[in-house]
């Protein structure tokens, strides 16, 4: 049994939904389909989820006219239902469910917002199930509450509770195609709550785990995951196979096609995950597995990069001999509730790297002063606007000279390295560079490993 998830761009209009129907009908193992809300149909269009968030805030505001936003939302579904010639009164149902939510108790606005947000996927799932039936497929909508998807009581950022998996296992017994809305579930008390944004991926991985799927297919709008971001490299090569570990490292440093945290429930059960293109389902896509399935064509699996980091550089003569030095530094970070991403160290100096957004400029200056006072360091300095660039690949463990090639490529491109860090796992090497050099650096490394090798 395969669990198949379709993102918003795969379900944005009638043409996309027809492609989805063909994909499902072409493989009888595709039994459970997880759907997002309708996404953007064209550049500049608005996702239904964003319209719903707007409607929620207008409604809570009380003094704004909500009718236009409400109408736009209903029209999105109506256009699809008409073009797909759905034989059931789905639009009446959608309007009724929207009205019920709009009339619900708003004394705890977070639950009201979540209920409205989730209606994007919920109504899409109902519409798609009805369309499948119109096409003669044996399909039903299933509500996540009925399926037993129980989440923590954290509106907008809920987490799955362990009992969900046993509940979801029962879906295996259903002998029909189930259309399951992504993005939300219910608390133990029965309140609707959503995951963080983009959460339909999480629903898909949880359901795949629960039913012990043979595969979790994640359909999006690219043929595969690319070795580097197309924002920096023109026409980068695609990746045919990644390991879970490689995916984790690449997502950490900026790969956004699918997020490793979202896929974790599938990884935990060793379920292969495939990223495929709804607009080109024949393309093999990227397979993400526990162990490498195919020999690597390239020396590394991918290059990822992400800005928004800063570091605190501390140097003190004989730091290596001072018991508790590191603890004193890190305790200051803890007091400022700032989580630390990496610590790079030398004999007499360390660099503590963190996400810049966690501290205001004033807090950062206070933190520097606190470290200075508590450690009597020779120098405490901040380095802002850093980008972390990572080269990732499990095969790096057994090949020599990869870092040398990367640093040479960066030096030839005249890019200064603020720091280098190789994790003990040897699955990745991280370079700290200035944010404004990001694109150039990614291109230099891409040319070294992918263009030169081709």
Q: Which residues bind ligand ASP (CB under 6 A)?
A: 8, 36-37, 47, 49, 120, 182-183, 197-201
The answer to whether residues 240 and 227 touch, using CB atoms and an 8 Å cutoff, is no
Closer of 5 and 306 to ligand ASP (Cβ): 5
Nearer to ligand ASP, 198 or 307 (CB): 198
* CB nearer ligand ASP, residue 116 or residue 211: 116
- Report the binding-site residues: 5-8, 49, 121, 220-221
Residue closer to ligand ASP, measured from CB, 182 or 210: 182
Spatial strand order in the sheet of 379-392:
340-345, 349-355, 302-315, 379-392, 428-434, 419-422
User: Which of 223, 261, 255 shows the shortest CA–CA distance to 240?
Assistant: 223
Burial class (CB in 10 A: 0-12, 13-18, 19+), 347: exposed
In angstroms, the Cα distances linking 351 to 342, 375, 435 are 8, 14, 17
246 strand-pairing partners: none
Contact 420, 388 (CB under 8 A): no
Residues 345, 366: Cα–Cα separation, whole Å: 22
Q: Which is nearer to ligand ASP, 199 or 285 (CB)?
A: 199
| Closest CB 7 distance from ligand ASP, rounded Å | 6
- Minimum CB separation of residue 287 from ligand ASP in Å reads 21
Binding residues for ATP: 5-8, 220-221
Closest residue by beta carbon to ligand ASP? 200
Which residue lies nearer to ligand ASP by CB, 172 or 197?
197
Tell me the closest approach of the beta carbon of residue 150 to ligand ASP, in angstroms: 19
How far is the C-alpha of 204 from the C-alpha of 197, rounded, in Å?
14
Residue 263 beta carbon to ligand ASP: minimum distance, rounded to whole angstroms: 13
Residues in the chain: 454
The interaxial angle of helices 109-134 and 14-25, nearest 10 deg, is 60
Instruction: Give the residue numbers of the binding site for substrate.
Output: 49, 121
Residue 408 CB, nearest distance to ligand ASP (Å)?
A: 41
CB 199 within 8 A of CB 182: yes
Distance CA(313)–CA(323), nearest Å, equals 19
For ligand ASP, the closer CB: 38 or 393: 38
Contact between residue 345 and residue 319 where contact means Cβ atoms under 8 Å apart: no
Least Å distance, CB 267 to ligand ASP, is 18
- Going through 126-267 in order, the beta strands assigned E by DSSP cover 139-141, 177-181, 184-186, 192-194, 215-220, 241-243
What's the Rg (C-alpha) of the chain?
25
Cβ-based nearer residue to ligand ASP, 46 or 343: 46
Q: How far is the CB of 198 from ligand ASP (least distance, A)?
A: 4
- What's the closest the beta carbon of residue 126 comes to ligand ASP, in angstroms? 15
């Amino acid at each position: 049994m395969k669990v198949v998830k379709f993102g918003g761009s795969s379900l944005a209009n009638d043409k996309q939904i027809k492609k989805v129907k063909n994909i499902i009908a072409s493989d009888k193992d595709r039994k459970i389909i997880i759907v997002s809300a309708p996404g953007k149909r064209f550049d500049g269009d608005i996702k239904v989820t964003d319209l719903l968030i707007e409607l929620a805030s207008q409604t809570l505001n009380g003094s704004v006219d909500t009718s236009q936003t409400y109408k736009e939302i209903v029209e999105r579904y109506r256009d699809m239902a008409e073009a797909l010639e759905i034989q059931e009164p789905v639009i009446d149902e959608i309007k009724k469910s929207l009205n019920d939510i709009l009339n619900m108790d708003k004394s705890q606005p977070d639950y009201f917002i979540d209920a409205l947000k989730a209606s994007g996927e919920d109504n899409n799932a109902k519409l798609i199930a009805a369309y499948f039936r119109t096409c003669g497929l044996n399909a039903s909508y299933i509500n996540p509450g009925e399926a037993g998807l129980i989440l923590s009581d954290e509106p907008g950022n809920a987490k799955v509770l362990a009992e969900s998996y046993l509940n979801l296992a029962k879906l295996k017994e259903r002998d029909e195609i189930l259309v399951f809305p992504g993005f939300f579930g219910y608390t133990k008390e029965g309140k609707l709550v959503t995951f963080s944004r983009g959460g339909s991926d999480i629903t898909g991985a949880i359901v795949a785990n629960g039913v012990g799927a043979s595969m979790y297919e994640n359909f999006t709008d690219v043929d595969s995951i690319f070795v580097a971001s197309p924002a920096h490299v023109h026409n980068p090569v695609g990746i045919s196979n990644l390991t879970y570990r490689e995916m984790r490292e690449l997502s950490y440093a900026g790969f956004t096609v699918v997020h490793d945290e979202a896929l974790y429930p599938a990884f935990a059960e060793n379920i292969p995950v495939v990223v495929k293109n709804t607009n080109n389902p024949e393309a093999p896509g990227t397979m993400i597995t526990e162990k490498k399935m195919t020999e690597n064509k390239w020396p590394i699996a991918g290059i990822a990069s992400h800005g928004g980091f800063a570091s605190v550089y501390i140097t003190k003569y004989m730091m290596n001999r001072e018991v508790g030095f590191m603890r004193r530094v890190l305790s200051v970070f803890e007091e400022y509730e700032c989580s630390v991403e990496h610590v790079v160290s030398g004999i007499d100096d360390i660099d503590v790297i963190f996400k810049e957004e966690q501290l205001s400029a004033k807090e950062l200056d206070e933190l520097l002063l606190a470290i200075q006072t508590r450690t009597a360091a020779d120098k405490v300095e901040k380095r802002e606007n850093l980008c972390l660039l990572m080269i990732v690949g499990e095969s790096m463990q057994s090949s020599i000279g990869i870092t040398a090639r990367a640093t040479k490529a960066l030096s030839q491109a005249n890019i200064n390295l603020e720091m280098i860090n190789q994790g003990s796992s040897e699955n990745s090497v991280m370079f700290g560079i200035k944010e404004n050099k990001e694109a150039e650096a990614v291109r230099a490394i891409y040319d070294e490993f992918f263009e030169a090798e081709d």
